[in-house]
Amino acid sequence: MIEATCHCGSVRLTVPEAPVQVTECNCSICRRLGARWAYYSPSNVRMPVAGSTQPYVWGDRMLAFHRCRSCGVTTHWQSLDGAQDRMAVNARLFEDLNWDAIKVRHFDGADTWSYLD
Ligand SMILES: [Zn+2]
């Protein structure tokens, strides 16, 4: 088990294991957030206390990007269509990750919607 926490500690997500790879995306929101996304099944994630995050939804309304209501740190995104058994936690919020051992993949969400590596 490993925990992701926002800066003030109001938002905590617990996942079964540290990521072995993360995704950096260049789409309009991800490039602004600077997040490194680690993907998990929502059923394996202990979610934050209800109301501790504020969702941001736009465009085709497929995803909700959550940030801490207090410190503003982006913590995770969730699918809103219910069909996708995947969510993403901002891996920058895990303590003491060995980034040298984690593969960082680059996703071209801005254009081709495919991985660049
Ligand atoms: Zn916070």
- Domain regions of the chain by residue span: 2-107
Find the 22 Cα to ligand 1 centroid distance in Å.
Answer: 22
Find the 87 Cα to ligand 1 centroid distance in Å.
Answer: 20
Reported as type and span, the H/E element at residue 104 is: strand 103-107
Report yes or no: 71 and 8 within 8 Å, Cβ to Cβ.
yes
pLDDT tens string 54-108: 999 998 899 999 999 999 999 999 999 878 899 999 999 999 999 999 999 999 9
The whole-chain average pLDDT of the chain stands at 96
Closest among 40, 51, 44 to 88, alpha carbons compared? 40
Please give the CATH number for the structural domain made up of 2-107: 2.170.150.70
Find the 48 Cα to ligand 1 centroid distance in Å.
Answer: 11
pLDDT at 5: 98
Q: What is the pTM of this model?
A: 0.94
Q: Can you tell me the distance from the alpha carbon of 74 to that of 112, in angstroms, rounded to the nearest whole number?
A: 25
Find the 73 Cα to ligand 1 centroid distance in Å.
Answer: 6
Reported as type and span, the H/E element at residue 2 is: strand 2-5
